[in-house]
Chains A and B, each alone.
Chain A
Amino acid sequence: MSPAVVFVLVALLVPMAVAESGEVSPWLAKRVLVWAARRLRSAEKTERYTEEWLADLEQVPGKITKLGWALGVAFLGVVRLREPKSALDWTPRPVVNPFATDSLFGPGAPESGGRLVPAPRAQTRPALPRPTAISPGCLGDGGYVGEPAQFEPGGVSYSRRFRQDPPVVPVPREPGARFFQRYYDNWGDSVHRRRYSYEEDAFTTSDQKAAPPVIGL
């Protein structure tokens, strides 16, 4: 490329670029300020600082200087002015099925309504028979007094079975024991138990075995 062409290009393009950037800078500065005010995470602050910053921007002399001033406000001011992020919500919620039960081969397992969590079992005690006569076992202070009551049918000692439990001495558990206990309480062995027999498998019919679908042929 000849020096004359380079001279013409530089003499034309550089002033054009400078003039164009000078014209674009005020518009770009306003856009930067509006964008920065929206980062404040508060509608009230956004409205206030948008107007305040735009009014102050008009007092800044120059054109490219406006863009520099707007960038300074955006980078220095927004980080300190914006509202802090809301804290994480640690409210306990019921466990939902974390696995996708629907697939290409049909809907998910209908058992327990798509829930893998077993329904809570009823914690009920068998009803005690009403005593017909005062027995020494009924007059205790809630504990086992040593002799079974006379009214118990079939020789089953209800008072012995449901007597007051001794105080539980807390035993230090290993780390993670609470997690595994709660995991087992929630899931049991339902995760690891096979739901269908091999004959009822998805790719198996009653009379003959079908090959699984081959993708890509």
Chain B
Amino acid sequence: MDIPPFRVTAATLDVLEALLGPDDQLYGLKIAENAGRKTGSVYPILARLEDAGWVVSAWEQDEPSARGPRRRFYRLSPDGLGAARALLLHHRGAVRQRTGSPVRGLAPRPTPQWRGWS
């Protein structure tokens, strides 16, 4: 796997998982909710991914005059899609799709996968 041109953190992997979701209108706030991260830390991650060419963004096109400020939608580029899958497989062993807010608190969590003694 090629080394990505940015620092790979857990938050970066969460954002990539959120971007791999089926929703095609993902903006910053929604990505942060799906990733379970603070919005203030998601915007810099999206900017780094966009600089690296993994993510492309575009302004909202619907109803240009009806609403006030436009939202900015993010999605993975064709190159970034494969690279994100490879990166998630390398670091987490699987590709999960985050589509909603993660369960927090006392809710049961899935058992971690058994990887042997070593």
Contacts and interface: CB of A to CB of B under 8 A. Distances in A.
A136 interface: no
B44 A52 contact: no
Contact of A69 (B39, B44, B60, B72): B39
A58 interface: yes
Contact of A52 (B30, B38, B69): B69
A49 B59 CA distance: 11
A76 B40 CA distance: 5
Interface string A33-72: 0000000000000001111111110111000000001001
A81 interface: yes
Interface in B59-74: 60, 67-72
A55 B39 contact: no
A56 B28 contact: yes
Task: Give the size range of B's interface with the partner.
Answer: 10 to 19
Contact of B29 (A48, A60, A75): A60
A178 interface: no
B4 to A, nearest CB: 17
Contact of B39 (A56, A58, A81): A56
A73 interface: yes
A37 to B, nearest CB: 11
Contact of A55 (B40, B41, B43, B69): B69
Interface of A: 48-56, 58-60, 69, 72-77, 80-81
Interface of B: 27-30, 38-41, 43-44, 47, 60, 67-72
20 contacts: A51-B70, A51-B72, A52-B70, A52-B72, A55-B27, A55-B67, A55-B68, A55-B69, A55-B70, A56-B27, A59-B27, A60-B29, A72-B40, A73-B40, A74-B40, A76-B41, A76-B44, A77-B41, A77-B44, A81-B43
